[in-house]
Structure formats: structure tokens, C-alpha cells
Amino acid sequence: MSSTEPASPEASPRPGGAGGSGADGPGPPVLSGPSIGGVTLAAPFTLAPMAGVADRPYRRLCLERGAAMATSELASAAALARRGKRTSELVRKDPAWRGGAPHCVQLFGKTPQEFADSASFCASELGADIIDLNFACPSRKVVKSGHGAALLKTPELCLRIAEAAVKACGVPVTVKTRPGFSPEDLPEPLVYSLAPKLADLGVRAVALHPRWATQGFGGKADWRITERLAALLPVPVIGSGDVDSAPLALKRLRESGVAAVMLGRATRGRPWLFSECLALWRGEPAPVIGREETFLCASRHARLLESERGKRAVFVLRSVLSWYIRELRNAAAYRRRICSSEDVNEQIDILREALLGGGGDEPPEGDARPGGTELP
Ligand SMILES: Cc1cc2nc3c(=O)[nH]c(=O)nc-3n(C[C@H](O)[C@H](O)[C@H](O)COP(=O)(O)O)c2cc1C
């Protein structure tokens, strides 16, 4: 299965550089991630918000493996402003998580009032340490109703929303965005003029996925836009887009001037990517992830999902467990068996058979340590 590349000098930490702060005086430099309005990340690698993927169990799994922050999936500001129970439970801070990573809740909406009400509710009642405003989602349903990236068509509204959220919630507010809605709209990316104004209003960091909203996920993320934004903003820029390995994460961190790198799709079935990033950043040997570790990680993922969703976990696990076996030669046959199973224990047995050839005990709860990151 997956093995990691050795640490290279190219990828060694850069004390005092992007995403690493050198301590004064003798001794090795103390590495840390950026400070977001006074909330300091332990490292410059975060999990991207991903609707339908980055739920609480998945965020926990990534935090255990070294993600410095794991932003929640986008949640409706309107529903939270109404104190909607289901949405509140989706974004509530994980009560079992004892690690230090801040809890970041992402909101989508379209009026300053609903953003202000929901941001304040999340900070005071649901344990949010950081509120992230979604000016990025390009999905047709979201855009059609004036949410997500549609807000980029009315920059004035973006500013009023940010101002209202900053004033209301008392915790740092960040924005996740795209360069602009469509490249035809403006001579250059809107984000160059919008983001500095957001920072003036008190937004403490900006995460950029450098594809225009009209591109969706097509083409390539244009990190030249991210680089230029990082050079002109007085607050940390977090770079997102097409980072699929630890060496590339380190390269982006060193070369683009971002304060942190956000990893998304590449972590699916590979949450230990964070441990690999951390090892390279610290100049330590990268962990080697074999089939045993893959099984430990995937079965922990299954148990975390089961403890959150009960029997309904079986449906989510049909896709989740398939992520972990996709590199196997006979993945399709195992995927079919996992997908037709109605029982979590059976799904784990099939996974064991796929990865380890059957037999063996499931590891005890909390004993999974792929990637070498200590569990809390
Ligand atoms: C399934 C999926 C769901 C996503 N949901 C969100 C979301 O809720 N909020 C958001 O800001 N971005 C969302 N994104 C975008 C990611 O946060 C990220 O910016 C993008 O996937 C590019 O990074 P990657 O190439 O590392 O995946 C989503 C992406 C995917 C693939």
C-alpha cells in the first residue's frame, strides 16, 4: 500500500519562515503554525472543510494524526441562527477531543444578520474557537440560492457579512474563498481587492482555493494567485488546492509564502498524510505506512463513525472503507462486498481480509497509531 518518501533536504523546516517560527536564543528552533487572531496552530497543515467527508469522526482521525486544525463542513448560518438542533449537533465541538487544536466552524449564508447570529451562537454555545465564512462553495444548489461563491458577485455584501460576524462573535473570524466568481467578470482576481478590505474589517486569515468558482474543480489550482495574495495580505493566507503529498505540501509552504497548507481530497483514505507532513516539516524521518497501519486506521475510522451514528454508519462506511483499499489490485471485488454488507463488524472483517489476508484481532480502541502521531 502506501509508503512514504524519505525526508529530503528540500523539504526541511525553515526556521522563522512560512509556517515555522524560530525561537530566540540557543537550542533548536521552536516550530509552530500561524497565529490566527491569537489562536496559534501547532503546525502549518490543516484539514480542508469537505461537505459529506469532513464530519466529526473524520476530523478527529485527522487531528489525531497531526492536522493542526480541522474545519467543519459548511453549516447553514440560517439554521444555526434559528438554533436548529441537527445543524447545531453537526458543528458542536467534539467533547471527546482532548488535543489542543482549535475548533473551527464554517458557516454559509447570505445575510449579515444570519452570519452574526449564528457566529455568536457557535462561539458561545457550541465551542467554536474560530468562525470561518464560506465565500467559496461553487455547487449549483448553493450558488443558485445566493450562498457560497455567489457572494463574490456582490463584494459589498461580503464586506458587510464579515463586519457583522467579526463584531458579533468575539472569536477570530476567517474567510475561505476563491479568486473570484468568473474570470470574465474582472481584469484580475477579485480576491486581490476584496481580501485586504476583509482584513481591515478584522478578518484574521484567508484560505484560498485558487480556482474560479465557475471552474468548480476543473483545471488546476493556480498557486500563483495564492502566492500573490500571500504577499499582499497582512494576515495569514492558508493555501488549498491539489496538494496530494507531504513533499508538495512542504514545497507550497516554502515557495508560495502561505502561512499554512490545507489538505483535502488527498487525505481521503490517507489521513496519515498529516503525520507525513509533520515529519518532513520537523526534519524527522517520515513514517512508513504499510497494510497493517492502513487497517488499524481504517478500522478506527469505522468505530468512530459507528460511535457517532450507530447502525447507520454502515451506509457511510461503504464509501469510507473503499477509500482505504482503492490501491489494491482486487479493490473492486472487495468494494462490492463492503457495499452489500449491512453490518459494521462484517465490513471490518472484509477490510481485514482485503488488507491483511483475513484472521487477526481488531486493534483495541484508541490504539491506532499510523503515521507515528500520538493519540491523545
Ligand atoms: C467533497 C468535497 C466537499 C467540499 N466541501 C467544502 C465545504 O464544505 N466548504 C469549503 O469551503 N470547501 C469545500 N470543499 C473544497 C475544499 O475545502 C478544498 O478547498 C478543495 O477540495 C481543494 O483542495 P484539495 O485539492 O486538497 O481537495 C469541498 C471539496 C470536496 C472535494
Model pLDDT for residues 353-368, shown as the tens digit of each residue: 999 995 444 444 433 3
Q: Poorest-confidence range of 98-102, 130-134, 245-249, 311-315?
A: 98-102
The domain that contains 180 carries what CATH number? Answer: 3.20.20.70
What residue owns the CA closest to ligand 1's atom 4? 50
What residue owns the CA closest to ligand 1's atom 13? 50
- Using 50, 70 and 90 to split pLDDT, how confident is the model at 30? confident
Residue 210 and residue 77 share a domain? yes
Q: Which of 256, 282, 308 is the last residue in one of the domains?
A: 282
Ligand 1 touching residue 9 (CB < 6 A): no
* Percentage of the chain lying above the pLDDT 90 cut: 83
Residue 342 and residue 219 share a domain? no
Residue 343 and residue 304 share a domain? yes
Average pLDDT (32-60) is: 97
Q: What is the pTM of this model?
A: 0.89
Number of compact structural domains in the chain = 2
The answer to whether residue 199 is domain-embedded is yes
Give the residue numbers spanning the domain of 335: 291-372
Residue 95 and residue 241 share a domain? yes
Residue 246 and residue 298 share a domain? no
What residue owns the CA closest to ligand 1's atom 29? 50
The answer to whether residue 13 is domain-embedded is no
Cα gap 217→226, rounded to integer Å: 16
The answer to whether residue 2 is domain-embedded is no
Residue 319 and residue 212 share a domain? no
CA distances to 150, 211, 261 from 219, in Å: 20, 8, 20
Cα gap 220→64, rounded to integer Å: 30
Ligand 1 touching residue 267 (CB < 6 A): no
Other C-beta atoms closer than 10 Å to the C-beta of 273 total 28
Ligand 1 touching residue 176 (CB < 6 A): yes
What residue owns the CA closest to ligand 1's atom 26? 264
Q: Which atom of ligand 1 is nearest to the CA of 266?
A: 26
Ligand 1 touching residue 226 (CB < 6 A): no
The answer to whether residue 30 is domain-embedded is no
The answer to whether residue 21 is domain-embedded is no
- What pLDDT, on the 0 to 100 scale, is given for residue 184? 85
Residue 224 and residue 87 share a domain? yes
Average pLDDT (283-311) is: 95
Ligand 1 touching residue 264 (CB < 6 A): yes
In terms of pLDDT, which residue wins out, 190 or 186?
190
Catalytic (active-site) positions: 137
Mean pLDDT of the chain: 89
Answer for the pair 210, 179: CB distance below 8 angstroms, yes or no. Answer: yes
The answer to whether residue 231 is domain-embedded is yes
What residue owns the CA closest to ligand 1's atom 15? 50
**pLDDT tens-digit map of 85-127:** 999 999 999 988 888 899 999 999 999 999 999 999 999 999 9
Q: Which residues pair with 36 in a beta bridge?
A: 39
- Indicate if the pLDDT at residue 241 is higher than 60: yes
Nearest to 77 by CA among 139, 120, 37: 120
Distance 49 CA to ligand 1 centre (A): 6
Q: Which atom of ligand 1 is nearest to the CA of 134?
A: 11
- What pLDDT, on the 0 to 100 scale, is given for residue 366? 38
Average pLDDT (305-322) is: 96
Ligand 1 touching residue 263 (CB < 6 A): yes
| Per-position b or e across 184-206, b if 16+ CB within 10 A of its CB | eeeeebbbbebbbebbebebbbb
Nearest to 241 by CA among 255, 261, 258, 227: 261
Cα gap 177→207, rounded to integer Å: 6
**pLDDT tens-digit map of 125-174:** 999 999 999 999 999 999 999 999 999 999 999 999 999 999 999 999 99
Q: Which residues pair with 205 in a beta bridge?
A: 174
- Indicate if the pLDDT at residue 60 is higher than 50: yes
The answer to whether residue 23 is domain-embedded is no
Nearest to 313 by CA among 349, 345, 268: 345
Residue 215 and residue 303 share a domain? no
- Indicate if the pLDDT at residue 33 is higher than 70: yes
Distance 51 CA to ligand 1 centre (A): 7
Other C-beta atoms closer than 10 Å to the C-beta of 346 total 14
Answer for the pair 30, 15: CB distance below 8 angstroms, yes or no. Answer: no
Residue 52 and residue 76 share a domain? yes
- Using 50, 70 and 90 to split pLDDT, how confident is the model at 26? low
What angle separates helix 155-169 from helix 191-200, to the nearest 10 degrees?
30
- Indicate if the pLDDT at residue 83 is higher than 60: yes
- Using 50, 70 and 90 to split pLDDT, how confident is the model at 32? very high
Ligand 1 touching residue 106 (CB < 6 A): yes
Q: Which residues pair with 243 in a beta bridge?
A: none
Q: Which of 252, 282, 312 is the last residue in one of the domains?
A: 282
CA distances to 4, 93, 136, 199, 243 from 220, in Å: 24, 33, 16, 27, 11
- Indicate if the pLDDT at residue 337 is higher than 80: yes
Average pLDDT (56-78) is: 97
Residue 306 and residue 277 share a domain? no
Residue 260 and residue 198 share a domain? yes
Distance 23 CA to ligand 1 centre (A): 34
Residue 314 and residue 180 share a domain? no
Ligand 1 touching residue 136 (CB < 6 A): yes
- What pLDDT, on the 0 to 100 scale, is given for residue 31? 87
Site to probe by mutation for ligand 1, drawn from 50, 105, 240 as the one with most ligand atoms within 8 Å of Cβ, is: 50
What residue owns the CA closest to ligand 1's atom 6? 50
The answer to whether residue 29 is domain-embedded is no
Q: Which of 264, 282, 300 is the last residue in one of the domains?
A: 282
* Percentage of the chain lying above the pLDDT 70 cut: 87
